Amino acid sequence: MIFFFDKSFIIILLINLLYSQCIAENTCFPSGFKIGVASSAYQTEGAWNVSDKGINNWDTFTHGKNQGNSNEDNTGDIASDSYNKYKEDIQIISDIGFDYYRLSLSWARILPNGFANKISEEGVQHYKNVLDELHAKGIEPFVTIYHWDHPDVLDKLGGWTNELMVDYFEDYARIVFQEFGSRVKLWATINEPNINCLSSYSTGVYAPGFKMPGIGPYICVHNMLKAHTRAYEIYDEEFRQINNGKIGIVIAGFYHFSVEENDTESSDVAFQYESGWIAHPIFSKNGDYPPVMKERIGENSKLEGYPRSRLPEFSPDWIQRIKGTSDYFGLNHYSSNLVKSVPKNPITGWINDSGIVSSVDKSWMRAASIWLSVVPKGFRSILNKIKCEYNNPPVFITENGYSGYANESDIQDINRINYFYSYIEEMLLAINVDGCNVHRYTAWSILDSFEWDMEYKERFGIVHVDFNNPNRTRTPRLSASWLGCVLNRRKLISFDEFNANRI
């Protein structure tokens, strides 16, 4: 007997076959899954003193380190020059084929005085141009309102340790929604409050360089959580109906593996002190800071003679307001570590109040950044932790990436490709096997840029930038073409397969 099938039947059959193959191989992205790339304003823009832009905290901090000399090796004065080269950058993003671009706004470029009494026309126009260019190329903008740079005048008033910063941020966010709301459907309020606050107010390696461990960072996060909530509420009440977008927060998270078998506590405590510090108030059923933080910091403070906990308290009203203020869980994940609990010892502050010490497994490969060990399995673990802890919220991976050394001629960045491959593989297991609710994956970063305290010594770009050349010439690395291939085929592709198909 002979059967005749029409062409469309055969095509459907082939698609099904390919799909079931990629499911079996765990190389499929779920339907509608989006892949993007990220950067931030201070790290890439440069143009620190063009038009009427105000001075920001990082301008002051980096210039201060150089005794007032503007030295482009150690500052973001020129950085990757994206302020001037944004069209070229967007062309590169479009050529690679990314679905979206996560970028941030410079507060001081929009509000030069720091306050809402003066809006810079040029600053606003610049971002409108950038957003229009993205739309013209079919790239969705994903805008972070605050990625660590704010007008210096606000730092002079205490920065994030001043509770009025909550009002200033609210004013800034409202202006940003008014000016760009019709062009932006996806917002992040604040990037990594935990890292920002610890580095700015505990270790002092970020602007403004204050060292107030055990006090400064707790106040800073407290104010950021309120500022985030206000921005979310404004969007909800005044803009969501018209602009129909989503808004959330970006949280940094390592995965913490317990050193000792059967020790489930240390891993959880480490999670609560890092990601939970921000996520518990927003995503947990009861809201507020993680109970373990409240207990341990409260007890330590008492032992140290403080009349109240060094961890500020939210009123019942704020606990309710903060809860639920994120349409997605933005996760920046790069690495993992090993943790174990240590006996209580009030004299040493009991290891940053947590009672946990961390280390790394010596067999883990390391990137250029000292904190970045390559531990792909930790990615699946943290996604599962978020799923269990917060009832499987929609997760957007807002950053994931690998650093190389500045002095390497590393256009052939095979280590970075291996990193991306192994991390995406674990993410797909979390999605396809464990049922984690992940919708987006963002590679960090599109360009080599100013890596905060490490200046230009560590390079996260999938595109190399020549900082010795006044043109800041861009050269896509091999990882950019590998990601292009993944985007094109909508499938995770091994380096060997990619290499074999290269012309």
Least gap, CB of 61 to ligand NOJ (angstroms): 15
404: part of which helix (H) or strand (E)? strand 404-405
Interacting residues with ligand NOJ (CB under 6 A): 40, 43, 191-192, 332, 399, 444, 451, 460
Of the candidates 293, 165, 287, the one whose C-alpha atom is nearest the C-alpha of residue 224 is: 165
Name which of 108 and 447 has its Cβ closer to ligand NOJ. Answer: 447
Cα–Cα dist 10/155, whole Å: 65
- Residue 169 · residue 311 · CB < 8 Å: no
Least gap, CB of 147 to ligand NOJ (angstroms): 6
- Residue 38 · residue 399 · CB < 8 Å: yes
Catalytic hit among 192, 274, 389, 425: 192
Active site residue 192: yes
Least gap, CB of 445 to ligand NOJ (angstroms): 6
Name which of 40 and 223 has its Cβ closer to ligand NOJ. Answer: 40
Name which of 28 and 190 has its Cβ closer to ligand NOJ. Answer: 190
* Neighbour-count burial for 77-111, b at 16+ CB within 10 Å, e otherwise: bbbbbbbebbeebbebbbebebbbbbbbbbbbbbb
Least gap, CB of 17 to ligand NOJ (angstroms): 40
Tell me the torsion sign for CA atoms 5, 11, 13, 14: positive
Cα–Cα dist 450/131, whole Å: 22
Cα–Cα dist 159/104, whole Å: 19
Distances (CA, A) of 403 to 25, 43, 457, 461, 483: 28, 15, 10, 8, 16
Q: What is the largest CA-CA distance in the chain?
A: 91
Least gap, CB of 386 to ligand NOJ (angstroms): 18
Of the candidates 187, 96, 176, 90, the one whose C-alpha atom is nearest the C-alpha of residue 136 is: 90
- Residue 414 · residue 204 · CB < 8 Å: no
Query: In the 8-state DSSP scheme, what is residue 312?
Result: P
Angle value at C-alpha 182, between 177 and 188, nearest 5 degrees: 45
Angle value at C-alpha 73, between 333 and 453, nearest 5 degrees: 35
Angle value at C-alpha 217, between 216 and 223, nearest 5 degrees: 95
Name which of 399 and 425 has its Cβ closer to ligand NOJ. Answer: 399
Name which of 188 and 430 has its Cβ closer to ligand NOJ. Answer: 188
Name which of 131 and 190 has its Cβ closer to ligand NOJ. Answer: 190
Name which of 100 and 444 has its Cβ closer to ligand NOJ. Answer: 444
Name which of 454 and 485 has its Cβ closer to ligand NOJ. Answer: 454
Contacts of 194 (CB under 8 A, 6+ apart): 217, 221, 251, 252, 274, 275, 277, 278
Name residue, tokens 């995770």.
492
Helix (H, G, I), strand (E, B) or coil at 209: coil
Cα–Cα dist 362/80, whole Å: 34
Q: Can you say how many angstroms the Cα of residue 99 is from the centroid of all Cα atoms in its chain? A: 17
Least gap, CB of 288 to ligand NOJ (angstroms): 25
Helix (H, G, I), strand (E, B) or coil at 331: strand
Cα–Cα dist 348/136, whole Å: 56
Catalytic hit among 179, 389, 399, 425: 399
Least gap, CB of 459 to ligand NOJ (angstroms): 10
Least gap, CB of 109 to ligand NOJ (angstroms): 17
Name which of 27 and 191 has its Cβ closer to ligand NOJ. Answer: 191
Catalytic residue numbers, as ranges: 192, 399
